[in-house]
Amino acid sequence: TEWLLEECIPLGSLTILAGQPGVGKTTTCCKILAHVTKGGNIFDLSIQKGSAIFYSSEDSYSQSILHKLAVAGADLSKIDVLNDPDFEPAKDIDAFFHNLEEKYINKPDSDLKVIMADPIHEFVSGDSNKASNVSIILKKISQFVEKHNIAFIGIHHFSKNSNEYSYMDRVIGSMQYAAKARVVLVIDCNDKGENIMGIAKSNYSRKDRSIQFKIEPRVHKYADSDELYNTSEVVFTQYDEYLSIEEAMAGKKNSKWEVKHKQYAEKYEDFVRQNGGKCLAVDIEKALVPNVFETSNMLRRAKEKSKNVQTKKIGNDWFCVLTNQND
């Protein structure tokens, strides 16, 4: 898998970013776009450098989005913002994709890496709660970005009064939004007022990764103007590789011992995955001890910590089988 943001946002696929109003979805996306246009990492997570397209119907470009991108440090020359009130993506999506190919993608020097839609339901014609309406459009989006190997991030909302549900069930509208996306990122805010972005679904990576951030007020001044503009910026404060958003929201912290054993589990799962998702248990022992794990006890602890590989008896033999972590 190729990544826009390593282990979080894939290239060639649809990603949904969902959350309640006010948790910083758009501001977070502006920060990510800034990193895309300038290059560099978010903590240890690498980012593909390139240009971006940002469609927004919820915020004015000149009064909101422009300032968020500017204070985030974006190279504004590498971001085209589509904010035309006459453009209706739900009616014009085929023409929209055709224009993208003509204006951006088919150029020899094209470096387009991501399209961002805020909100994604603006691309859906008719009832956004109707599965068939949502499925048709998201399939078109998925096929387009897969063809051109670019990321598509659709900003979406949680249902009201849905805190007791799982994050996947909190995504508003048809279940097709979460089903068609290859990755579902969510942003939530805990009792301490800390904002956390995590993975609710991923077809390509582990879900136990989370990033904490703050939303800081900013005042921005452009070089060619004396006016001051009030805006805000996301500041990423902490990355936890082996902590899911559910665990982070509950206040859990991983000890060094827990991180070490989760690393063992990941090595074990990677071996099973690389061998077709099903291996004879005795073959794993021979392959991994002592080449990967110094002792059989270390391998045993890796098996105990693994949430994605089960040991099953098939016929007369025991197998280690990769399960679907997204069920």
CB neighbour list of residue 303: distance below 8 Å, 6 or more residues apart: 265, 268, 309, 311, 320
Question: d(Cα 49, Cα 74) in Å, to the nearest integer?
Answer: 12
Confidence label for 325 from pLDDT (cuts 50, 70 and 90): very low
At 254, is the secondary structure helix, strand, or coil? coil
d(CA 267, CA 290): 13
Give residue-wise pLDDT tens across range 187-213.
999 999 999 999 999 999 889 999 999
Q: Are strands 151-157 and 183-189 parallel, antiparallel or unpaired?
A: unpaired
Closest CA to 202 of 2, 43, 10, 28: 10
Banded pLDDT at 34 (limits 50, 70, 90): very high
The SS3 of residue 320 is strand
Reported pTM: 0.88
d(CA 189, CA 212): 10
Domains of the chain: residue spans and CATH: 3-249 (3.40.50.300), 256-322 (1.10.10.10)
Distances in Å between the Cα of 199 and the Cα atoms of 163, 180, 183, 288 are 17, 15, 7, 29
Query: Which secondary structure element, helix H or strand E, spans residue 117, and what is its range?
Result: strand 112-118
Average model confidence (pLDDT) across the chain: 93
Q: What is the dihedral of CA 211, 215, 221, 222, to 10 degrees?
A: 40
The DSSP 8-state label assigned to residue 213 in this structure reads: E
Bond from prior residue into 21 cis (ω within 30 degrees of 0):
no
Confidence of residue 89 (pLDDT cuts 50, 70, 90): confident
- Residues 217-228 have a mean pLDDT of 94
